[in-house]
Amino acid sequence: MKVLAADGISPKGIALLQKEFEVDVRDKISAEELLSIIPEYDALLVRSASKVTAEVIGRAAKLKIIGRAGVGVDNIDIPAATAKGIIVINSPGGNTIAATEHTMAMMLALSRNIPIANETMQKGEWNRKKYVGVELRGKTLGIIGMGRIGAGVAKRAMAFDMDVIAYDPYINEERAKSLGVTIGTFGEVIEQADFITVHMPLTKETKGMISLAEMKRMKKGVRLINCARGGIIVEEDLAEAVKSGIVAGAAIDVFTSEPVGLGHPLVGVPGIILTPHLGASTVEAQIGVSIDVAEGVHAALHGEPVATAVNMAPVSREVMRVIAPYLTLAERLGGMVVGMADGAIEEVEVTYKGEIMEVSTGLLTTAVVKGMLNPILEDTVNYVNAPSLAKDRGITVTERKQKESKHYESLISVRIKAGGKELTVAGTLFGTEGRIVRINKFRVDVDPHARLLVCPHTNRPGIIGAVGTLLGRANINISGMQVGRTEIEGTNIMVLTIDHDIPGDMLEKVKAIDGIFGAKLVNFYAI
């Protein structure tokens, strides 16, 4: 079998594959050349330079696996690969230490003014008094996002005798306790911390989550670090906040658009340290990611399970024919429960009723967990790593099966325990279309897509109209509506399909309407 290694894959990974396979190393390959030669290869290894487009995949007559030596897979057309049965893998853990250590390096450089002190020394200056720094010891570090990198930063910060407060709405108290951190709200973290570091994925919810308004709520002398994703901190606002003294300084490794030039708002601002996306750029990380993907390619070419697949995990054709129509529904049920949960999820129970329980449902349960974790984790969540990511966060996942289903041929129910409360959502297929048919005790018929506003309410005139009027005044269009009843007399639930995001203050206004028991926005674009 033949393997194509493009984009400067570390020799350590290549050497592993050369023991059994013919490996063709092309460090700099043009798009045209890749298109021309890809039909020859059984496996392809890339970093970020090569674009594995649908056209490339279409020409790949023998390709079984694409390995990305790194985390991001934006340069690979995953739907096209999946449709053709090609496994796509990445290396989600290979650069964790590198990113963690870079965050600490940025924090230390920021606290002790190292870059500017070095720069002026190189010019022959001696400015001891001008560049007096601050110590980490005794300071409070606020961590926004407690995935693997956030947890690693917390561990190292505590070694510096820092107090750590973290915001992660989906980490439970047991996990937080094991890490030795205090869990707070987003507001508590930004108001109490002396240093704030971001470790969240870039989603519609996190984009711009730290703007000038949030910076004005922070401590005088706060310092910000972002080695996660560009766009979480509003760059123009950060520049203004540092210039005006609202923020003492910042260290930024990632940007909304890369590379950046002289016209970027953060370039040339005193007090802001910039690095060109170096978070994963260590010798060890590059070796680590190359070995990770090489091992994955080796397994795939031998027909063995692959541990870091970002698309479909291997399933027999017979089982796949049965469960394939349910996969999207299962993910959406997971997204629905996490969107409606109050607090960190502790337990997940997936129950299969009717015909669907006759086959292996493990992949469907994984799909539920994937849909549940995908909107909330910085890490890439896939069909392989979803169970371990849930376990890492202290979430217990169980399956149940029942032969009888009173009203449907097959029914999937997802029950979670979160914040001491239970929540159940159930769905089925109408033909090939997935539908949510129950939310707790409410009977509904909801198409799980786009954005849903879910509002339990008292069953009396005027409430639905009040919500519609409020959204209409804010130019938020309602494209669909479903009202469900429950066994409890006098209570209903409305589920509105809306075309625009709802700001947090607007959601609070909906909750404040007399007769509304609560309001939750479920955004399926994040799944």
Greater model confidence, 445 or 450: 445
- Quote the pLDDT of residue 431: 86
Residue 58 belongs to some domain of the structure:
yes
How sure is the predictor about 151, in pLDDT bands with cuts at 50, 70 and 90? very high
| DSSP line for 51-76 | -B-HHHHHH-SS--EEEESSS--TTB
Which residue bears the tokens 């926005």? 521
- Quote the pLDDT of residue 172: 77
Task: Give the residue from 405, 440, 475 where a domain finishes.
Answer: 440
Reading the block at residue 204, the tokens are 């519609």
Q: Say what angle helices 148-159 and 96-111 make with each other, to 10 degrees.
A: 40
Task: Give the residue from 403, 422, 440 where a domain finishes.
Answer: 440
- At 397 the three-state DSSP class reads strand
Q: Is the pLDDT of residue 526 over 80?
A: no
Residue 193 belongs to some domain of the structure:
yes
Q: In percent, how much of the chain has pLDDT > 70?
A: 96
Q: Are residues 255 and 291 in the same domain?
A: no
Strand pairing of 345-354 and 396-402? parallel
174 part of the active site? no
- Quote the pLDDT of residue 378: 66
Query: d(Cα 264, Cα 474) in Å, to the nearest integer?
Result: 33
Which residue bears the tokens 């965050």? 103
> Per residue in 357-378, pLDDT tens?
888 898 899 999 989 998 877 6
Q: Are residues 261 and 360 in the same domain?
A: no
> Per residue in 319-361, pLDDT tens?
778 888 898 899 999 999 998 998 889 999 999 999 998 888 9
Task: Report the predicted TM-score, pTM, of the whole model to 2 decimal places.
Answer: 0.66
Residue 182 belongs to some domain of the structure:
yes
Residue 311 belongs to some domain of the structure:
no
- Quote the pLDDT of residue 426: 96
- At 132 the three-state DSSP class reads coil
Q: Are residues 414 and 499 in the same domain?
A: no
229 part of the active site? yes
Residue 306 belongs to some domain of the structure:
no
Q: Are residues 134 and 198 in the same domain?
A: yes
How sure is the predictor about 489, in pLDDT bands with cuts at 50, 70 and 90? low
Query: d(Cα 472, Cα 463) in Å, to the nearest integer?
Result: 14
Q: Are residues 149 and 248 in the same domain?
A: yes
Average pLDDT estimate for 142-158: 95
- Quote the pLDDT of residue 388: 76
* Chain Cα centroid distance, residue 480: 28
Residue 310 belongs to some domain of the structure:
no
Q: Are residues 376 and 234 in the same domain?
A: no
Task: Give the residue from 232, 266, 301 where a domain finishes.
Answer: 301
Catalytic-role residue among 223, 229, 298, 332: 229
349 part of the active site? no
Question: Worst-scoring range by mean pLDDT, 128-137, 164-173, 375-384?
Answer: 375-384
CB 224 within 8 A of CB 233: yes
Q: Are residues 401 and 321 in the same domain?
A: yes
Residue 308 belongs to some domain of the structure:
no
- Quote the pLDDT of residue 120: 94
Reading the block at residue 458, the tokens are 């008292």
Q: In percent, how much of the chain has pLDDT > 90?
A: 61
Q: Is the pLDDT of residue 515 over 70?
A: yes
- Quote the pLDDT of residue 527: 61
Residue 307 belongs to some domain of the structure:
no
Greater model confidence, 121 or 381: 121
Average pLDDT estimate for 85-102: 88
Average pLDDT, the chain: 90
Q: Is the pLDDT of residue 165 over 70?
A: yes
* 76 HSE (CA, 13 A, CB side): 25
Q: Are residues 175 and 268 in the same domain?
A: yes
Q: Is the pLDDT of residue 144 over 60?
A: yes
- Quote the pLDDT of residue 305: 65
Q: Are residues 151 and 291 in the same domain?
A: no
CB 390 within 8 A of CB 397: yes
Average pLDDT estimate for 380-407: 82
Catalytic-role residue among 59, 112, 156, 277: 277
> Per residue in 263-279, pLDDT tens?
999 999 999 999 999 99
Q: Are residues 295 and 348 in the same domain?
A: no
Q: Are residues 268 and 296 in the same domain?
A: no
Query: d(Cα 334, Cα 342) in Å, to the nearest integer?
Result: 14
- Quote the pLDDT of residue 490: 74
- Quote the pLDDT of residue 380: 62
- Quote the pLDDT of residue 506: 87
How sure is the predictor about 48, in pLDDT bands with cuts at 50, 70 and 90? confident
How sure is the predictor about 310, in pLDDT bands with cuts at 50, 70 and 90? confident
- Quote the pLDDT of residue 114: 97
Reading the block at residue 227, the tokens are 């080695």
Reading the block at residue 526, the tokens are 């994040």
How many distinct structural domains can be found in the chain? 4
Q: Is the pLDDT of residue 314 over 60?
A: no
Question: What's the domain range around 247?
Answer: 96-274
- Quote the pLDDT of residue 486: 65
- Report the CATH number at residue 176: 3.40.50.720
Q: Are residues 149 and 81 in the same domain?
A: no
- Quote the pLDDT of residue 136: 98
- Report the CATH number at residue 512: 3.30.70.260
Q: Is the pLDDT of residue 313 over 60?
A: no
How sure is the predictor about 316, in pLDDT bands with cuts at 50, 70 and 90? low
Catalytic-role residue among 22, 33, 258, 358: 258
Average pLDDT estimate for 124-139: 95
- Report the CATH number at residue 428: 3.30.1330.90
